[in-house]
Amino acid sequence: MPNTLSSTPRTGPLAGLRVLDMSRVLAGPWSGQLLADFGADVVKVERPEVGDDTRGWGPPYLKDAAGEETREAAYYMSANRAKRSLTLDISKPEGQRVCADLAARADILLENYKVGGLAKYGLDFASLQARNPRLIYCSITGFGQTGPYAPRAGYDLIIQAAGGFMSLTGERDDLPGGGPQKGGVAVADLMTGMYATVAVLAALAWREKSGAGQHIDLALLDTQVSWLANQAMNYLVGGEVPGRAGNAHQNIVPYGVFPARDGHMILGIGNNSQLTKFLEIAGRPELMDDPRFKTNTLRVENREAVVAIISGITAMRDLDDWLAELEPAGVPSGPINTLDRVFADAHINARGMRVAIPHALGIVVEHAGNPIHFSGSPVDYPRAAPLLGEHTEEVLEEWLGLDGEAIATLRSDGVI
């Protein structure tokens, strides 16, 4: 299928770099999308007629200019903007040759096949590095290339559970609704995609010094354990297994969700100065003289009593009334927004976090924007997620110099 969008030269910090994105679903594609946002030419390699699994993960599906529902799932579009799509059957010898030729001209390759999955096609790191010593080859798996769990398939929910995240997330078992909870988005996948991007950028810096590419082995489970952050250190230093605390903070009080007269609000009071301001605004400054309130350590020790008192105070006024006084005073506080309110928020829009991007169907699709603001090489969004195979001919011509006859042969042979 021909590209229906005009090609615009990329100007981001990674402009000129070529990325072969052989990953599927979310972790790898998320990394590829970040690289594409930064200006890299990211070519997504997909199975002919099928494509990425997430193309079918709807509803909702995108509607075309006539208002008719397509088979372009919103889920797929969330992690594949600014890429070009090339269909290629790597189970066929000729498909393997084409893929290897593409990798020979790439700077970066992203893949999330099972351990050893690409070796049977001759597309493993060792094989491709022999042709392209500068290739940065990033392998994303559930459990890594080594270790007893390496052969296992990894999925976000399994990793959230196995990596300890779900043991920390959710309400306490002794409270209504208590029990382990997953995150509201696929945090293990998304964080792995972020780490993959950081790793690729570090490998690019190393290549500038050494002239050599390298293999990056990235596991969802490793990533999940790594960003347990303070909870991991609390356990490793203190020896006590942390449990679920709902919306509370293990180390800070008052910090969490509190009732307002007309809903709920967030308080994130991290020091005595902020608490003093809050209590003054609340008309209860004397509470700072209460022994249970004097220090954060004492507030943590008396968590239930302190939270009950603060909750009684916040429940007496409407949310907007609280925020009108707390925010100017520098007391960390805020609303709990639903997504319609998030994307209607004036600040969110002023920051460019709701962006309209052209799609090959002749429509414009809104996306959540990239949060990184470069002063000299801004993020740009040349296209929404591509149609399946939208750029196959274009990429084969640009990257490999194939002519129309060669491409037609590949198509008639079912390779593309």
161, 180, 152: which is closest to 224 by C-alpha? 161
**What integer pLDDT is reported at residue 4 of this predicted model?**
42
Q: Judge whether 189 counts as a catalytic residue.
A: yes
Mean pLDDT of the region 76-95? 98
Calculate mean pLDDT across residues 78-85. 98
Cα–Cα distances (Å) from 104 to 101, 123, 217, 301, 322, in that order, read 5, 11, 20, 60, 60
Question: What would the pLDDT profile of 56-70 be if each residue is shown by its tens digit?
Answer: 999 999 999 999 999
- Work out the angle between the directed axes of helices 319-326 and 272-281 (0-180°, nearest 10): 130
Q: Are 105 and 399 in contact (CB under 8 A)?
A: yes
Read off the DSSP letter of residue 362.
Answer: S
For the chain, where do the domains classified as CATH 3.40.50.10540 start and end? 18-226+348-412
pLDDT at residue 31 in the model: 99
Q: Give mean pLDDT, residues 31-54.
A: 97
Domain with CATH 3.30.1540.10 in the chain: 255-338
Residue 11: predicted pLDDT:
86
pLDDT average, residue stretch 223-231: 96
Q: What is the DSSP string of 17-83?
A: -EEEEE--SSHHHHHHHHHHHTT-EEEEEE-TTT--GGGG--SSEEE-TTS-EEEEEHHHHTT-TT-
Which whole number is the average pLDDT over 204-219?
A: 98
Residue 6's pLDDT is 44
Q: Provide the whole-model pTM.
A: 0.91
pLDDT band at 2 (very low <50, low <70, confident <90, very high): very low
pLDDT value of position 3: 39
Determine which one of 21, 189, 222, 380 is catalytic.
Answer: 189
Which pLDDT band, with edges at 50, 70 and 90, does 250 fall under?
confident
Q: Which CATH superfamily is domain 18-226+348-412 in?
A: Crotonobetainyl-coa:carnitine coa-transferase; domain 1 (3.40.50.10540)
* C-alpha 353: how far from chain center: 15
Burial classification of residue 92, based on how many CB atoms lie within 10 Å of its CB (0-12 exposed, 13-18 middle, 19 or more buried): middle
> What pLDDT score was predicted for residue 10?
86
pLDDT, tens digit, for every residue of 183-208? 999 999 999 999 999 999 999 999 99
Residue percentage of the chain with pLDDT more than 90: 94
In the predicted structure, residue 303 carries a pLDDT above the cut 50: yes
Give the DSSP H or E segment for 203: helix 187-210
pLDDT of residue 1: 38
Q: Is there a contact between 102 and 77 (Cβ–Cβ < 8 Å)?
A: no
User: CB within 8 A of 59, min separation 6: which ones?
Assistant: 73, 74
Q: Which pLDDT score, from 0 to 100, does residue 7 have?
A: 60
How many other C-beta atoms are found inside a 10 Å radius of the C-beta of residue 414? 12
CATH superfamily of 255-338: formyl-coa transferase, domain 3 (3.30.1540.10)
Instruction: Give me the percent of the chain exceeding a pLDDT of 70.
Output: 98
